Each structure stands twice: as structure tokens, then as C-alpha cells.
Amino acid sequence: MNTTTPNRYSAPALEKGLDILEALAQSEDGYTLNELARTLGRNVNEIFRMVMTLQHRGYIQQAEPDDRYTLSMRLFQLAHYQQPIKSLLQAALPLLKELAERSRQSCHLSLFRSGRMVIVAQIDSPERWSFGLRVGEAMGLTDTSSGHVILAYQDEVERTRMLSSHIKVEGELQMDPGELFSILKDVRAKGYASMPSIQIGGITNIAFPVFSNGGRVVAAINVPHIARIDGMPRPDIEQIKEIMSSICLRLSTRIGYNPDASDDMLDSA
């Protein structure tokens, strides 16, 4: 956080505020004021007014009962003002609604941001029962189907960068590198990822990639499939995979993907 590189145009107050935001972004449970001061190598008096200002502006929040500070959704909301993400969401939402209707399951769209997978859109199942994750929720990079899809389609340099910036979320499993790369190879060969949920019984997560121009994977669409045992006719997992493949291809082409022009690039990644 604090850098030793000289900066002719340093703004100490701004840097202090950014240090606070970066520290909270890397913490699973947040910090009390005293813990935050120790983490930053400062005393409480040095950061108190900055913490109060960030809380007043809505960038951080304080949770009871132990008064721990955590990041709010403010930075996430600001990121969505960026045109690329706005354009992706505008193109994705109608197709996500179609996917939920056709599969009779919930679905969500996630991106890699700041070392984690983050859900940026979610549609509930039209059924009486559904399972979904909140927009803005962070997920593991190395132990989720969405993370596997994102990692599987990166070149070696970008994959290394993602893994080096990876921040574990609560409950994320420690993944052996050899096992991870074996999974990614399999995902790339099949074109999708599928795995039982490691948190919730009876759910199978199915994720497909969303490509942008140049064949770059920019997002993943995931269906947390809930198995029905009451005999009601519903699309099975294999049928849902076919629906997802079609939906993801349509979304990809809407945001600039050209399958014919991108095949060579994908083969060499």
C-alpha cells in the first residue's frame, strides 16, 4: 500500500484514503479502527478523519456489533458507470432473462475484478424455488466454475497476473496448482465448466464463457442448477448446457465477438 518510490506530485491525504480502501478490499472481515491503523502502520489519530470522511461519502461502512469497517457497494456502483461494463450489462440482461425462463433456473453474470470474481447481474428462476447470489457478491477465483472459465481462456501471462492478484474470499478452498491447471485444461477442451457447489448441497454450477472482440473472455455466465426430485418435467443439465452455449454465443456476438476471426487466436492462447 505505502510505496517507497518517490513521487514528485504526491498527495498525502489522497494516498492515505487510497491506502484505507485498498486495505479494506484485501480483508475478508474488515477491520476495527485500531486494526486498520495497525495494518497501515499509522496511529488512529492519523486516519480517523479520513475514515470518517470515507464513511460519510458512502465508500466504507461500519457494521455492528464490533464496529468493523468494510467496503460499501459505492466503488462497485462507480465501476458500473464505465461504458464497457454498461454495454455488457445492457446486452446481457435480456439474454439472462431468457436463459432463466428457458432453463427454469436462476443465473448470473460475473467478471474478474480486483483479485476476485464479482457478480454484476443476477436473474431469479421463474420457479417457486430458486437459488441465487446477490449482485456485487464476491466469489472465489480458483474454486468456482465461473473462475475456472475465466482462467481457462487466458494466455499464460494474463493467467499468471490474475493468480498473483488473487484475493481469497471467505470459505474459498486452497487449490493445488497442478490440480487447478488440470481442471482448466479440461474446461478449455469442453468449452464450459461444471462442478458441484462446494457450499450448498444439491446444486451443480454450470458456467460458460462470454467472448469479446479478438476472442478475449471477459465474463462468465453461471447457472446454479437445483435438481428437482418431484418428477416435474424440466430441462436437465445437458439440455441447459445447450441453452447456455447458444445464449453465450449470442451475447458474445452482440459485444463484438467474431467466431471466424477469433478461432486462430483461441487456439494459440
List of domains in the chain: 12-72 (1.10.10.10), 78-268 (3.30.450.40)
Instruction: Write out pLDDT tens, residues 84-102.
Output: 677 888 899 999 999 999 9
Q: Could you give the percent of the chain with pLDDT greater than 70?
A: 88
Lowest mean pLDDT among 21-25, 52-56, 194-198, 228-232: 228-232
pLDDT value, residue 96: 97
Whether residue 224 has pLDDT greater than 90: yes
The angle, 0 to 180 degrees and rounded to 10, between the axes of the packed helices 33-40 and 44-56 is: 120
Comparison of pLDDT for 128 and 3, the residue scoring more: 128
Q: Which residues contact 103 (CB under 8 A, 6 or more apart)?
A: 125, 223, 225, 235, 240, 243, 244
Comparison of pLDDT for 137 and 147, the residue scoring more: 147
Separation between Cα atoms, residue 15 and residue 192, nearest integer Å: 41
Separation between Cα atoms, residue 169 and residue 29, nearest integer Å: 10
Phi, psi (degrees; rounded to nearest 5) at 87 = -65, -40
pLDDT value, residue 133: 78
Whether residue 268 has pLDDT greater than 50: no
Strand-pairing partners, residue 226, are 203
Burial of 129 (0-12, 13-18, 19+ CB in 10 A): exposed
Instruction: Write out pLDDT tens, residues 180-201.
Output: 999 999 999 999 999 988 877 7
- For residue 220, the Cα-to-chain-centroid distance in whole angstroms is 9
Strand-pairing partners, residue 205, are 195, 224
- For residue 33, the Cα-to-chain-centroid distance in whole angstroms is 28
Whether residue 267 has pLDDT greater than 70: no
pLDDT value, residue 209: 97
Longest dimension (CA), the chain: 69
pTM above 0.85, yes or no: no
Q: Which residues contact 83 (CB under 8 A, 6 or more apart)?
A: none
Going by C-alpha positions, the residue among 68, 70, 147 that lies closest to residue 115 is: 147
> For the residues 139-157, what does the mean pLDDT come to?
92
Burial of 84 (0-12, 13-18, 19+ CB in 10 A): exposed
pLDDT value, residue 148: 96
Confidence of residue 5 (pLDDT cuts 50, 70, 90): low
Grid cell at residue 108? 448470473
> For the residues 213-237, what does the mean pLDDT come to?
87
- Residue 80's identity, in one-letter code, is H
Instruction: Write out pLDDT tens, residues 151-177.
Output: 999 999 999 999 988 888 877 888 888
129: which DSSP letter? S
Instruction: Write out pLDDT tens, residues 101-122.
Output: 999 999 999 999 878 898 999 9
pLDDT value, residue 80: 53
Characterize 204-231 residue by residue with b for buried, 16 or more Cβ atoms within 10 angstroms of its Cβ, and e for exposed. Answer: bbbbbbbbbeebbbbbbbbbbbbeeeee
Whether residue 265 has pLDDT greater than 50: no
Question: Is residue 173 within 8 Å of residue 211, measured between CB atoms?
Answer: no
- The SS3 assignment for 74 reads helix
- Residue 40's identity, in one-letter code, is L
Lowest mean pLDDT among 108-117, 206-215, 216-225: 108-117
